[in-house]
Amino acid sequence: MVVPPTEESLQRAAAILRSGGLVAFPTETVYGLGASALDAQAVARIFEVKGRPTFNPLIVHVAERGMLPQVVEAVPPLAEELMDRFWPGPLTLVLPKSGQIPSLVTAGLPTVAVRMPAHPVALELIRQAGVPVAAPSANPFGYLSPTRAEHVERTLGSRVDLIVDGGRTQFGVESTILWLGERPLLLRHGAVPQEALEEVLGPIEPQVGPRQQPLVPGQLSQHYAPRTPIRMAYPHEVAPEERKEAGYLAFRDVPRGFKVVKVLSPTGDLREAAAHLFEALHQLDRLGLRAIYAEPVPEVGLGRAIMDRLRRASS
């Protein structure tokens, strides 16, 4: 059931979380499928509903730093500095886990991924629930991430106890994941650009990409994929005959000859392009096209997260 984010429905959603249920809710990145991070049985339902073939670690969401002792063992000074700068916001930090977090949440790892989302509905929901909330993106395993409540409803629907509709998400790509070991490692490109992190940390090396061991599902080479076959190509690389039955996901300019074209950002703004990425793919995926071609975008700022998602979707 989809509800607007009224005071009453948030109270109801919080009660569902406290009693072990599942609530899909908006964040500034994508919609999350949430359960109490302290309740192993509730977390098990997340895996069941998403159809994840293996138990992969989840991101735990907090509404205030006062909740952190329930989630992490300690907050090192560098993490504190990053929280000052980027929280609430789309930066996920991987830190040593506390004993209160069931090992199902972290897939048995001694570390836990944690973030404070910059979305009033998410913050209010977590605050009212009074527990940290484990939430992966609210999509079936391997499929496109949801940027609207209707994406969640269409794909997970009645298997979720409640879907809180907060409209379209602002960033449209997931959070950036940073592992804070002896030296910081970028585990997933996301809504906080690598360049912004480097202003604080100095040069960092991304540990992402298809060549790496699949440490996390966001690093699996096939992920975030529509059902329609998708390939990255500039317009001139697609033969005129093929264009007639294909959709094109363009960065800024409309190419000729395709059956349907979605433009990510007419002004060439990478932030706007990221915000439209999954939504445009959801739309194209419903048209019964023979193929989708996606135009490469410049690999700077949010362009890195876009290219990462497109490479995985098309691999």
Binding positions for Mg ion, rule: CB under 5 A: 137
Quick one: tokens of 201?
A: 């940390």
Nearer to ligand TXA, 193 or 218 (CB): 218
DSSP state of 52: -
Q: Which does 59 bind (CB under 5 to 8 A by kind): ligand TXA, Mg ion, none?
A: ligand TXA
Of residues 9 and 137, the one with the C-beta less far from Mg ion = 137
Closer to Mg ion by CB, 131 or 216: give it. 216
155 binds, among Mg ion, ligand TXA, none (CB under 5 to 8 A by kind): none
Contact between 31 and 171 under an 8 Å Cβ cutoff? The reply is no
Task: Find the shortest distance in angstroms from Cβ 30 to ligand TXA.
Answer: 5
Helix extents (H) in the chain = 7-18, 40-50, 68-71, 77-86, 120-129, 149-155, 194-201, 240-243, 270-285, 303-314
Given Mg ion, ligand TXA, none, residue 194, with its beta carbon under 5 to 8 Å by kind, binds none
Which residue number is nearest to Mg ion in terms of Cβ? 137
CB of 197: closest distance to ligand TXA in angstroms?
Answer: 15
| Residue spans of alpha helices (H) in 103-257 | 120-129, 149-155, 194-201, 240-243
- Diameter over CA atoms, the chain: 59
- Spatial contact of 104 and 44, defined as CB atoms under 8 Å apart: yes
Of 137 and 194, CB closest to ligand TXA? 137
We find the least distance from the C-beta atom of residue 77 to ligand TXA, in angstroms, to be 20
State the minimum distance, in angstroms, from the CB of residue 300 to ligand TXA: 20
We find the least distance from the C-beta atom of residue 299 to Mg ion, in angstroms, to be: 21
Residues of the shown chain interacting with ligand TXA in the complex, contacts defined by CB under 6 A: 27, 29-30, 32, 56-59, 90, 92, 94, 106, 109, 111-113, 117, 135-137, 174-175, 177, 187, 215-218
Q: Distance from first CA to last CA of the chain, Å, rounded?
A: 34
Please check whether residue 18 is in contact with residue 74, taking contact to mean a CB–CB distance below 8 angstroms. Answer: no
Record the tokens describing residue 2, joined without a space: 């989809």
Question: Are 134 and 122 a contacting pair, CB within 8 Å?
Answer: no
User: Of ligand TXA, Mg ion, none, which one sits near residue 5, judging by CB under 5 to 8 A according to partner kind?
Assistant: none
Provide, rounded to whole angstroms, the least separation between the CB of residue 271 and ligand TXA: 15
Q: Which is nearer to ligand TXA, 182 or 241 (CB)?
A: 182
Q: Cβ distance 121 to 113 under 8 Å?
A: no
Residue closer to ligand TXA by CB (options 105, 261) is: 105
